[in-house]
Amino acid sequence: MLIPAIGLAQSRAESIMGRIDARMQIAEEKDGFSGVVYVGKGDQVLLNKGYGWSDPEANLRNTAQKRFMIASISKSFVAACILQ
């Protein structure tokens, strides 16, 4: 009885990740979004994909392995998240 439920849960997660991916592709095309999206649940990685350009002048696309130089700008975002 558990096997159909597991398949249903996986197909539901795949459907949700497909919708997120489609929306991110629209944001990339229409709004010029550039970045990496990571969605995980527990130990499972559901979506890990790069969108847009990491360096448009060199024609380099974002990948899931891209590392961004964010310096200290992230501190204010973390503080705002903690306060919320």
Average pLDDT of the chain is 84
pLDDT at 9: 59
Question: What are the phi and psi torsion angles at 74 (to 5°)?
Answer: -70, -20
pLDDT band at 71 (very low <50, low <70, confident <90, very high): confident
pLDDT band at 20 (very low <50, low <70, confident <90, very high): very high
Other Cβ atoms less than 10 A from the Cβ of 36: the count is: 17
Q: What is the mean pLDDT of residues 49-78?
A: 86
Q: What is the mean pLDDT of residues 61-72?
A: 83
Q: Please tell me what DSSP assigns to residue 56.
A: G
